[in-house]
Every structure is written in structure tokens, then in C-alpha cells.
Amino acid sequence: MTRDESIVELAAWLATAPGRYLLAWEQDRLDDALADAFGFHAVQLGLPELEGLRANRMPHRWVASDSLHPFEGLPTVLPTTHDGVTTPGGAQRVDLHCEFDALPFPNASIDLVVLPHALELARDPHLTLREVERVLVPEGRVVIVGFNPASLWGLRQRAGRLRRGLGFARGTSLFLPRAGDLIGYWRLRDWLRLLGFEVEVGRFGCWRPPIASEVWLERWRWLDRVGEHWWPVLGAVYFVVAVKRVRGMRLVGMARSDRRKAATAPAAVARRDAPPVHAAAAERRREQEPA
């Protein structure tokens, strides 16, 4: 399966009942986390169905995609309300087409990067993270959203792949899109630490069972309240906010370019108890004469 086909499949899955439920939770978390993220430049890599930067107030915001025609002939994502927050339907406008492991931005030029399920579809997720670290300014933030393999959704996905690999139940469809490998939460934290990031926020969500029916998903709505308190790490999706730290750098106010004053030559100071110049010279000559 090509990457374009994987993106199309994910976009189609997001139009289903569990997909809309997932989008609503992610939209809620992004709105809360990015409302107070300050800076000048922000970019969202992938998943234009999710308006990750809509609550952010940076003056320059872009949505990037690594596919030219990923959404032709797809069903429309209907608006969904979750905890009082409404997720708009459809996909937002894409401003930039580029490869996520070769971003067209200079070093240390972006204040915020949002990666909604972009690492799962990337050709090389670790290289994509390195590229994000390159373009981020010191103290810049990266927000990552991904499926949690240690959840009921992840277990059902692995079970379906195992059955297909063994040749059983070939007609059985997978619950999640087939594309990419699910990246574990702790594995992702290790990658971020190796690249110099410090995890600021780590949360899990979507504890309802992997059911395709919207009616049954609503019946299991109470699991979202219970799961957050009793088994938080078993949520179907994780939400991570990390800050880029640079050793030896301390940003305090605005940088100044004050010129250093030229060092003045030392001034000679006469001492009252010093011997006359001619007397000191005569004394040195007597010491140099042979006995």
C-alpha cells in the first residue's frame, strides 16, 4: 500500500462513527493545549480533517500535507460534538505540500509543530522527528497525537493482522486503518528524550470499546469518565506535548548588542618614597660591575 492510499484510507475511516468520536476528543485536547501557545509561526503536518491550530493565536499558521490528491471521492466527515465541543466536518484547506522528513523551513524558524497521526504514516518516523527538531526554535513545542497499541483498539488491530497473516478469516476487516505501525507511548517518549525534548504533557483518551456502531458507542459513553481515573494508560489514543530544550542557552528578554568600551592604558602613578631616577640607575650600575 502506497502512502497516498494510506492517507486516503485514514481519511475514509475518520468519517465512520469511531473516527468521528476520535476526532472530537483530539480536537478538544488540541484546543485546550494550544490556546496559550505563543509565538509567530505554527504548522500542522497532515490530517487536514483536524483543525489543530484553530484555537491558536499565532499570526502565521499553515497546514501541510505529504500527498497531492488524498481526498477525492471520500465521504464527508460529519460535524461531531464531544464534551460540548463541536468538530466541523470535511477537511480544511492545505497550504503546503511537502515531505515531512524534508521540511522547507530554515533551522530554528518554527514555534509550534502539530503532528496528528503523522508519525504513523511517515516513511521514517524517527527522521520526521529529527526534522521537526531542526525547524523548531529553542523552547518551541511539538504536539503529537497517535494511536495507543496498548489499548483495546490496538489489541483488536493486532489480532486482526495476526489472523490475516495466518490465512484465517480473510474477509474480516481491521478496525483501524491498515497503514503504518502503531508507535507506543513510552517508545515515543524515548525518541523525544534522545532528540533533546522534554515531555510537558502526556494524556490518554477514548476508552470506549472498538465498536463500529454509533449507537453502541454512545451506550459505552460512561467508560470515558471511569477509564480516565482507573486505567488511564489504556486509552485508544495518546496526546503528547514536548518542549525543545537547548543546553547552555538561557533566553531572558530581548538580546542586546551593547558595544564594549575600549580598555584604557594603565596610568603611571608617582610614589613619594620612590628614589630619584638618576640614583636608581647608579645603583643598578654598581650592582652590575664585577667585584
Q: Is residue 256 part of a domain?
A: no
Q: Is residue 105 part of a domain?
A: yes
Q: Is residue 236 part of a domain?
A: yes
pLDDT band of residue 39 (cuts 50, 70, 90) is: very high
Higher-scoring residue by pLDDT: 265, 237: 237
Question: pLDDT digits over 152-193, tens only?
Answer: 998 888 887 777 766 655 545 677 887 667 899 999 999 999
* Domain tally, the chain: 1
Average pLDDT, the chain: 81
Percent of the chain with pLDDT over 90: 49
Distances in whole angstroms, Cα of residue 95 to Cα of each of 4, 48, 67, 101, 137: 18, 10, 12, 17, 21
Domain assignment of residue 65, given as a range: 3-244
Tally of residues, the chain: 291
pTM, two decimals, is: 0.76
Rounded-to-integer distance, Cα 59 and Cα 144, Å: 21
Structural element, H or E, at residue 63: strand 60-65
Rounded-to-integer distance, Cα 182 and Cα 152, Å: 13
Rounded-to-integer distance, Cα 23 and Cα 184, Å: 19
Rounded-to-integer distance, Cα 136 and Cα 138, Å: 7
Residues 86/26, Cβ–Cβ less than 8 Å: no
Q: Is residue 274 part of a domain?
A: no
Q: For residue 9, what is the DSSP state?
A: H
Q: Is residue 279 part of a domain?
A: no
Cβ neighbours around 132 below 10 Å, total = 28
pLDDT band of residue 69 (cuts 50, 70, 90) is: low
Residues 134/107, Cβ–Cβ less than 8 Å: yes
Pick from 35-39, 214-218, 268-272: least confident: 268-272
Question: pLDDT digits over 235-257, tens only?
Answer: 999 999 999 998 865 656 555 55
Q: Is residue 113 part of a domain?
A: yes
Q: Is residue 249 part of a domain?
A: no
- The domain that contains 155 carries what CATH number? 3.40.50.150
**Residue 255 CA neighbour count, 13 Å, CB half:** 4
pLDDT number for residue 202: 95
Rounded-to-integer distance, Cα 235 and Cα 68, Å: 32
Q: Is residue 12 part of a domain?
A: yes
